[in-house]
Amino acid sequence: MATTNGGNVEVVAALPAITRQDNPPPKQPALEPLTLAGIAARRAKAGKLIAGTAAYSDSDMFKSPQAYNQLKARRWDHLLSPEVMAREACALKKAALNLKKPGLLSLGGGLPSSDNFPIESLSMQVPYPPFLGKTSTEALRRDTTMGKHDIRDKDGVYDISIALNYGQAIGSAQMLRWVTEHTELVFCPPYADWRCALSIGSTGALDSALRMFCDRNRRDSVLTEEYSFATALETMTPLGIKVFGVHIDEQGLLPNSLDEILRNWDESARGARKPTVLYTVPSGQNPTGTTMGVQRRKDVYDVCSKHDVFIFEDEPYYYLQMPPYDKANSAAHPGAVDVYSNQSTEDFLKNLIPTLLSIDVDGRVLRMDSFSKVVVPGSRMGWVTGSEQVIERYIRLQECCTQGPAGFSQALMYKLLDETWGHEGYLRWLIHMRSEYTQRRDALLDACEKHLPKDVMSWTPPATGMFLWLRVDHTRHPHAGQKTILELEEEIFDSCIERGVLACRGSWFCAERDAELTGLFFRTTFASSSPTDMDVAIQRLGEAVRGSFGI
Amino acid sequence: MATTNGGNVEVVAALPAITRQDNPPPKQPALEPLTLAGIAARRAKAGKLIAGTAAYSDSDMFKSPQAYNQLKARRWDHLLSPEVMAREACALKKAALNLKKPGLLSLGGGLPSSDNFPIESLSMQVPYPPFLGKTSTEALRRDTTMGKHDIRDKDGVYDISIALNYGQAIGSAQMLRWVTEHTELVFCPPYADWRCALSIGSTGALDSALRMFCDRNRRDSVLTEEYSFATALETMTPLGIKVFGVHIDEQGLLPNSLDEILRNWDESARGARKPTVLYTVPSGQNPTGTTMGVQRRKDVYDVCSKHDVFIFEDEPYYYLQMPPYDKANSAAHPGAVDVYSNQSTEDFLKNLIPTLLSIDVDGRVLRMDSFSKVVVPGSRMGWVTGSEQVIERYIRLQECCTQGPAGFSQALMYKLLDETWGHEGYLRWLIHMRSEYTQRRDALLDACEKHLPKDVMSWTPPATGMFLWLRVDHTRHPHAGQKTILELEEEIFDSCIERGVLACRGSWFCAERDAELTGLFFRTTFASSSPTDMDVAIQRLGEAVRGSFGI
């Protein structure tokens, strides 16, 4: 196909638009939320997806024909940065429009011919549902293969000749279909013109989002949880964007604190314009592990609407929503029965906390989804969801930086998520991951119950994610008057290292770097260590705290 | 390994430093350029590469123990942007230093356990040298496989548990070794402290380089060929960076023009600070197809030194250096014998044009290499080479945007380039690619000789790359007085589309968008179309030009 469909390499080769073998489905109300069966029916109706090298696609091609709300998102021209407003579609792209002319021969785009790709096939062995074992290695397995010309030779919809050539910055049509369907299935954005685009992971998506909405020359600033994701803070500061912390409780952001900051903003005292962006991790927040409940999300959203603040919703841990911790029935106990592992996918979906995107009638949320925590970090592929305007600007930026995720990642993730598992298999995998993480969390919490001095330490069992935030009551420390919180934190950290355990210091996550510490915290994770190691590690941590407090 | 080596996800998990099984090789002069045998000997001496999840690595670990020049690169603090100078290594990274302590248990980094990766193995079928066929599909083939725990189970050096977890922004130690060795083998940078880092492709690397060296608030500007790569121009302009074109001839950039612009810079007339950056594609330039000779490169470099201009050397087409076009012995003729296809790798290396990096005694070049044109575009993986200072800043930026190339790409490219082909096999593949592109180029040039009106059209057979730049002599057009060059260009372009051929308009590549066109050009490519299609396409193009000129 590449020989006649040559587009242009440089811009992300805008090429033949997608065609379908059948007619588009007739417009009809689809007021019921989308289901797995609905996706299957829609695909069957739409016919085989035909999308060649660097084919243009967008989410509208894969959404329900009728949106859940006919109202379109608001426009964000007043918040978008001059940099991103100045971005234009490439001049060369205009040429691509001509490629639809039958019989046109292209000498235009410098796309290499797939004849010269030194990769004939890609294969992968993956677990297959039901995911029976405690780890993926004990599960059933399947092999899946992609050849260079599966579309031509095997009636496939995606192959190496397309996946490994230049593509669109939005991602391949094949993967975009999957993320769009998944987004509608789970999040149901309540405005008409929402769209998705693939990202190279949420770190990259956040950097792009900041370039889109913040400008140092406007003295723009961002709000976030008072303890926030360290890399996010480090992404913002060098861009000249000031970051301000919002107070939190065990459910994360406090709407009152958010409102108070915005109501009483003093530009000259703060040295920054009133914030126009909120960056938040609503579920399993890093580092505090907090998860906003439904009402909290609505309240936070309302405050943002009131002050016209745009929201970056960063949700890598979203699917790691676990049942409440029950000490007596810890999932880490030998022989513990996981009643949730056989949950139906309908129940699983029904019980997920609604996202900010799900209540976003204005299109003021740019949501970032990631496969890093639930599939593999090394895909460097995730996706963003937002209004048509915001996603269009996002794509213009990607055309001049990432060009979308790697073709290897798109090819292999497509084989896994779409062809091998399908939407249902992926949901079953997420249910399985939740069980895995519940066991890990419970092992860490069991160790805390066993080893930590409760008179000076406290914690809230996380409902989501991979982090446990430990509070140490510095006011009860014998040197509380003489030493600062930072000094006590350092003393305990050093003692931990000496005893052979590493936990992250709370001060590393302070949203406002110069602000005084309000508490003494350590972040721990249950993502990677074995239950035995976690038990020993927490015992050492407890000893370090006891040693410092002299108890 | 991940269970005990937990680092931190957020920053790119800084983790255990690389260890080697044997002692480092003794320091000794290595004044002879590195050879394939030298790489093999060095690897044998160094012992097995052991680099776990997110292990720290840098090029110094893989370079010759003695540099070709003991002098270090200059410092670039005066040119680097405030944004990139403000970037700091992550606070969490400090914690990683403690991980070297024996027996330390980490509750620090949120790296997922590879137990939960749903990928047991990755396999790939690839051609193997000698690359006999006209296309890769006719070559010998080999299968190569990477398992989840090849290091633990199979004495491997790289596996899924590492490649698909979080890694360092510089790239994996395993791939960094390969690109460092390749860089020394081919480019021999003549200063002591050069280093490499993987990129997500040169589009991303250029965006990063611009963020590193240019700042709209300083009114920074960039010089480039007067006709330049469209996406590069579109990357610069929205950043608020003014672009200025340097005159070119059939060898590309004219040193005199470059010097004249810089000598006579009038900041207020130009509306920008005197340029501090030159962006150039020295080989097979896009769109003009020009390649700078050795002396030209030296002269351009000298002018840049004189005016303290930093150089971005973008070289995706570097290895597509072809023998001169000989009409009578066109490589596209049936039965043509390719005398170069059996060239030794030593001869191949010896005959490559020295790069700007190869003559860069100051460390003022940031070179961008790409696999897109010679392996697959879909790897979204390439590498940059520059001084230690520049590469260190580059990595700090990547930590907060790309986090390095995808693990899938690193895993599969490693299997292909290092384990299956090795350096020698890759060079043989490049020799093979050169033959492929020579045949393609000659087919296009044959068609031009046959079909184009030489009285009004001219071209220089490209010595490198994938583009042929066709000049139309607008002064001989019957409407030369009445119509602008842009109007004539549009007329011929439209006529081409009508006749069924797409070629890119020269005006799409003008470095200075408001400047008047100096000539009438069309860019064509021989990268993707078949010889038959190219013949028909050029015939149509010739008809369009003849039609417009009435000849």
Please name which of A314, A398, A390 lies closest in space to residue A72, comparing C-alpha atoms: A390
Label residue A65 by pLDDT band (50, 70, 90). confident
B103 near A CB under 8 A: yes
Q: Does residue B513 surpass a pLDDT of 90?
A: no
Q: Which helix (H) or strand (E) holds B547?
A: helix B531-549
Q: Does residue A228 surpass a pLDDT of 60?
A: yes
Digit-coded pLDDT (tens) for B461-488: 999 999 999 999 999 999 998 999 999 9
Please name which of A475, A446, A467, A470 lies closest in space to residue A458, comparing C-alpha atoms: A470
Please name which of B211, B118, B533, B191 lies closest in space to residue B358, comparing C-alpha atoms: B191
Q: What residues does each domain of chain A span?
A: 201-321+335-380, 452-549
Architecture of domain B188-323+336-405: 3-Layer(aba) Sandwich (3.40)
Nearest chain A Cα distance for residue B64, angstroms = 30
Give the per-residue pLDDT at B50: 85
Give the per-residue pLDDT at A427: 97
Give the per-residue pLDDT at B101: 84
Establish, for the pair of chains A and B, how many residue pairs have beta carbons separated by less than 8 Å: 414
Is the C-alpha dihedral spanning A243, A246, A250, A251 positive or negative? Answer: negative
Is the Cβ pair B503, A538 closer than 8 Å?
A: no
Nearest to B529 among A107, A533, A540 (CB): A107
Architecture of domain A201-321+335-380: 3-Layer(aba) Sandwich (3.40)
Higher local confidence (pLDDT), A89 or A24:
A89
Is the Cβ pair A104, B466 closer than 8 Å?
A: no
Is the Cβ pair A120, B126 closer than 8 Å?
A: yes
Nearest CA in chain B to A493: B95
Query: Where is average pLDDT lowest: A422-426, B337-341, B358-362?
Result: B337-341
Separation in Å, CA B2 to CA A318, A409, B114, B115: 22, 22, 7, 9
Nearest to A378 among B137, B163, B416 (CB): B163
Is the Cβ pair B137, A124 closer than 8 Å?
A: no
Is the Cβ pair B110, A217 closer than 8 Å?
A: no
List all residues 6 or more positions away from A35 whose beta carbon is below 8 Å from its beta carbon.
Answer: A185, A346
Polymer length in residues for chain A: 551
Distance (Å, whole) CA A296 – CA A544: 36
Residue B143 three-state SS: strand
Q: Which helix (H) or strand (E) holds A159?
A: none
List all residues 6 or more positions away from A299 whose beta carbon is below 8 Å from its beta carbon.
Answer: A255
DSSP A129: S
B89 near A CB under 8 A: no
Q: Does residue A137 surpass a pLDDT of 80?
A: no
Give the per-residue pLDDT at B169: 95
Is the Cβ pair A375, B117 closer than 8 Å?
A: yes
Q: Does residue B18 surpass a pLDDT of 90?
A: no
| Surface of A (118-177) touching B: CB under 8 A | 118-127, 135-137, 141, 148, 163-167
User: Which of B429, B468, B528, B535 is the mutation pick for testing A, counting most A CBs within 10 A?
Assistant: B528
The two tokens of residue A151 are: 């579309």
Mention the CATH class of domain A452-549.
alpha beta
Nearest CA in chain B to A405: B380
Mean pLDDT of B346-366: 97
Query: Where is average pLDDT lowest: A36-50, A332-346, A494-508, B500-514?
Result: A332-346
Nearest to B504 among A83, A92, A537 (CB): A92
Q: Does residue A174 surpass a pLDDT of 50?
A: yes
Please name which of A318, A312, A299 lies closest in space to residue A386, comparing C-alpha atoms: A312
Higher local confidence (pLDDT), B4 or A98:
A98
The two tokens of residue A98 are: 């001509």
Please name which of A341, A427, A363, A434 lies closest in space to residue A35, comparing C-alpha atoms: A427
Mean pLDDT of chain B: 91
Is the Cβ pair A406, B405 closer than 8 Å?
A: yes
Mean pLDDT of B316-324: 97
**Chain B residues closer than 8 Å to A238 by CB:** 83-84, 86-87, 400
Nearest CA in chain A to B524: A107
Nearest chain B Cα distance for residue A29, angstroms = 38
Digit-coded pLDDT (tens) for A393-414: 999 999 999 999 999 999 999 9
Distance (Å, whole) CA B344 – CA B341: 9
Is the Cβ pair A502, B95 closer than 8 Å?
A: yes
Q: Does residue B10 surpass a pLDDT of 70?
A: no
A109 near B CB under 8 A: yes
Q: Is the confidence metric ipTM above 0.90 for this complex?
A: yes
**Chain A residues closer than 8 Å to B141 by CB:** 120
Is the Cβ pair B400, A234 closer than 8 Å?
A: yes
CATH topology of domain B437-549: Aspartate Aminotransferase, domain 1 (3.90.1150)
| Surface of A (207-226) touching B: CB under 8 A | 207, 216-217
| Surface of B (481-500) touching A: CB under 8 A | 497, 500
Q: Does residue B136 surpass a pLDDT of 50?
A: no
Digit-coded pLDDT (tens) for B258-311: 999 999 999 999 999 999 999 999 999 999 999 999 999 999 999 999 999 999
Nearest chain A Cα distance for residue B187, angstroms = 24
